[in-house]
């Protein structure tokens, strides 16, 4: 909304700081080509010069005034909060000095977001809305993160149903639900479902390798998955018992040529 007049790029070349004629500073993520934040300065004459040096931003205005923004102010305290993953305290410091977000340690708000969101999604599935909201509160100053959380917040009933199906070992319904509602594939519950599957498959494979006569036992173990997308893998295991045994022996003998054949 304002005419850009000057810019500079930080040392690691990840951010651009842009000054404008209406005295607004914009911080731009160069990799994603997105605005990180903007701030309107009191001097309304327009920005004519920008310079980054030793953790400070020197801003020159067209009327000759110069201001210095110390974005490293309390940087040690902020870094300590980031290292301890004390998100609420770090966020309070950002509210007082938004330029602290230019420090490398501030990337925890991006690096940790996926894990925090997964934990929040779990809380939502148990209808613990206040706890989930408090957990993501330090992160949702970023609009994209806020939108992501709100999406799951509005889908809490779906999450609850999906979790219940897994808890009740209704794996066929759970997989069908995940295939129909794609966002469930990105949740930690789907990871749990896949882990249950892999554990069952590996155990069934193990007992078959120990004794091919255990095929019926293996089939019972995998029975809950026979009507899921895992059926082709199950049938491959059950229909090729001798091949699995031979392959295991070839690996032990380090006969990799025959193994890959």
In the block, tokens 């078959």 appear at 208
The model's pLDDT over 62-115, given as tens digits with 9 standing for 90+, comes to 999 999 988 776 778 999 999 999 999 999 998 888 888 888 888 899 999 999
Residue 177 has what pLDDT?
A: 94
Which tokens belong to 161?
A: 């149903």
Task: Mention every residue, 6+ apart, whose C-beta is less than 8 A from residue 162.
Answer: 125, 174, 177, 178, 181, 184, 187, 189
As a whole number, the mean pLDDT across the chain is 90
In three-state secondary structure terms, 222 is: coil
DSSP state string for 140-208: TTSHHHHHHHHHHHTTHHHHHHHHHHHHTT-HHHHHHHHHHSGGGGGSHHHHHHHHHHHHHHHHHHHHH
Residue 102 has what pLDDT?
A: 80
DSSP state string for 69-130: EETTTTHHHHHHHHHTT-HHHHHHHHHH-GGGGGSGGGGHHHHTHHHHHHHHHHHHHTT-HH
The model's pLDDT over 101-146, given as tens digits with 9 standing for 90+, comes to 888 888 899 999 999 999 999 999 998 999 999 999 999 888 889 9
In the block, tokens 């089939």 appear at 219
- Cα-trace Rg, the chain: 28
26: β partners: 18, 38
C-beta separation of 75 from 56 below 8 A: no
Residue 242 has what pLDDT?
A: 77
Q: Is the pLDDT of residue 30 over 80?
A: yes
Residue 163 neighbours by CB distance under 10 Å: 21
Q: Is the pLDDT of residue 169 over 90?
A: yes
Q: Mean pLDDT over residues 49-62, rounded?
A: 90
Residue 1 has what pLDDT?
A: 67
Q: Is the pLDDT of residue 251 over 90?
A: no
Residue 111 has what pLDDT?
A: 93
> Could you give the CA distance from residue 143 to residue 125 in angstroms, rounded to a whole number?
23
Residue 25 has what pLDDT?
A: 93
Model confidence, pTM: 0.67
pLDDT category at 6 given cuts 50, 70, 90 is very high
From residue 223, how far is each of 31, 200, 229 by CA, in Å?
Answer: 48, 10, 13
The model's pLDDT over 15-27, given as tens digits with 9 standing for 90+, comes to 899 999 999 999 9
> Could you give the CA distance from residue 238 to residue 244 in angstroms, rounded to a whole number?
10
Q: What percentage of the chain carries pLDDT values higher than 90?
A: 62
């Amino acid at each position: 909304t304002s005419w850009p007049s000057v810019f500079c790029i930080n040392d690691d070349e990840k951010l651009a700081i842009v000054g404008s004629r209406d005295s607004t500073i914009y911080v731009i993520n160069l990799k994603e080509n997105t605005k990180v934040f903007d701030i309107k300065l009191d001097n309304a004459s327009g920005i004519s010069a920008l310079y980054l040096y030793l953790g400070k931003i020197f801003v020159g205005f067209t009327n000759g005034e110069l201001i210095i923004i110390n974005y490293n102010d309390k940087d040690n305290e902020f870094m300590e909060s980031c290292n301890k993953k004390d998100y609420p305290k770090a966020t309070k410091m950002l509210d007082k000095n938004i330029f602290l977000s230019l420090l490398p340690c501030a990337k925890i708000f991006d690096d940790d977001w996926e894990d925090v969101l997964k934990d929040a999604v779990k809380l939502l599935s148990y209808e613990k809305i206040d706890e989930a909201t408090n957990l993501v509160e330090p992160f949702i100053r970023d609009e994209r993160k806020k939108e992501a959380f709100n999406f799951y917040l509005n889908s809490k009933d779906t999450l609850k149903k999906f979790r219940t199906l897994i808890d009740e070992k209704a794996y066929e319904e759970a997989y069908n639900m995940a295939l129909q509602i794609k966002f469930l594939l990105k949740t930690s519950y789907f990871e749990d479902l896949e882990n249950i599957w892999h554990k069952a498959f590996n155990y069934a494979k193990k007992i078959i390798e120990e004794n091919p006569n255990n095929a019926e036992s293996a089939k019972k173990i995998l029975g809950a998955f026979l009507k899921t997308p895992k059926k082709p893998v199950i049938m491959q295991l059950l229909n090729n018992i001798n091949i699995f045994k031979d392959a295991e022996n070839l690996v032990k003998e380090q006969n990799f040529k025959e193994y890959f054949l």
